[in-house]
Structure 1
Amino acid sequence: MNPRIESLEKMLDGPRDGALLRFSLGNEYLKAGDPAQAAKCFQAAVDRDHHYSAAWKALGKALAEAGAHRDALAAYERGIAVAEARGDIQAAKEMTVFARRIRRALEEA
């Protein structure tokens, strides 16, 4: 197993467990080519912090890579609302582009 993933997983359920840890672990799973596991981590991150726009964006990406396009679209839509409410305009713009691509792909399917 990836040593970074192992190291991060050892911290789960400990005093440092939180949205950032789950987000970091999700990024490592994405790098390792496991988008389904990454999505679980990103979902745990947004469950811990509903206002974490970067985690919403990453959740959408991981779900899309895992083939869960409707769930990815829902994550992006929630992430856009969160980002706009927080004034995170760049994240909102990026997620809007990704959501538009998924909508088009779903319409063509």
Structure 2
Amino acid sequence: MNDRIERLQGILQQDPGDSSSRHALGLEYRAQGELSKALECFRETRDRDAGYLATYYQLGKVL
């Protein structure tokens, strides 16, 4: 696991509603080829914050 993933997970433990950090975590997972984890992050971002439009684009790329 890389440092960015660990930092983002720490942020999300303190603030689970942080859409930017959850989306960024999905991007990190996607970059590492962990598509199921990326998909989970993007879906959760969408479910928590339907107005976070960038996550729809990333969902399309992962699917």
Same fold (TM over 0.5): yes
Give 1:19's aligned residue. Answer: 19
Higher RCO, 1 or 2 (CA under 8 Å, sep at least 6)?
2
Give 1:58's aligned residue. Answer: 58
Provide the C-alpha distance between the structure 1 equivalents of 2:52 and 2:15, rounded to a whole number of angstroms: 20
Provide the C-alpha distance between the structure 2 equivalents of 1:2 and 1:17, rounded to a whole number of angstroms: 22
TM-score normalised over the length of structure 2: 0.86
- How many angstroms does 1:21 deviate by? 1.0
CA RMSD of aligned residues (A): 1.5
Give unpaired runs (5+ residues) of structure 1.
65-109
SS of 1:25's equivalent in the other structure is helix
Provide the C-alpha distance between the structure 1 equivalents of 2:23 and 2:46, rounded to a whole number of angstroms: 9
> Which structure: larger Rg?
1
CA contact (8 A) 2:45 2:55 kept: yes
Percent identity among equivalent residues?
38
Residues 49 and 17 of structure 1: CA distance in aligned 2, closer, same or farther (over 3 Å): closer
Give unpaired runs (5+ residues) of structure 2.
none
List structure 1 runs of 4+ shifted beyond 4 angstroms: none
How many residues are paired up? 63
